[in-house]
Amino acid sequence: MGFVLGLTGSIGMGKSTTAAMFRDEGLAVWDADAAVHSLYARGGAAVSGVARLVPMAVTEAGVDRPALRLALEADPSLFPRLEAIVHPLVADDRDHFLAREDGDIVVLDVPLLYERGIDTECDAVVVASASPETQMARLLARPGLDRAGAELLLSRQMPDRDKRARARWIVPTETLEGARAAVRQIVSEIRGSLGAHNRRDR
């Protein structure tokens, strides 16, 4: 396993776009959201547990995420019980990814990377970030998400300023050009440090 780079950022900060840019640089990226989507799909490993917790949020197609979000908004006490079902399954998927990938740099794209202590599994962390105004505008542009729902989601996440303070790198996502330049610089720095380390070991 190569250098493990953690990628995080609060909702609406451009983390997914940043992850795509790392893929464009040839890096393998594990996507926590995609893992959850698979677990929630028909036949997914989390469906039966969610059905027991919130029956109204499960259909023949799997977990209905908008319905689940409404249930969580109505009863926030469901959050820790849902997390107890989903997080161990997500961790298993992440472990399988790390075991099979052999690139010099691999990326863990995790929204709650710091909140769940997954930064301890990483060699370094990069945070995707934008202004609070840009973040809220992006959130309100999402179908079915109003300001109350956005604020509830944000309340479950570490503030952006705290993530920025803990990260080694920050990718500014106000513009695509700025984000891509930052991603390329990060990859270059990591590969440079790996090359220097390998030369010292010879």
Q: Residues at the annotated binding site for ATP?
A: 12-17
Residues 6+ away with beta carbon under 8 Å from 78:
53, 54, 71, 72
CB 119 within 8 A of CB 165: no
| 3-state SS, one letter per residue, for 8-65 | ECCCCCCHHHHHHHHHHCCCEEEEHHHHHHHHHECCCCCHHHHHHHCHHHEECCEECH
Binding residues: 12-17
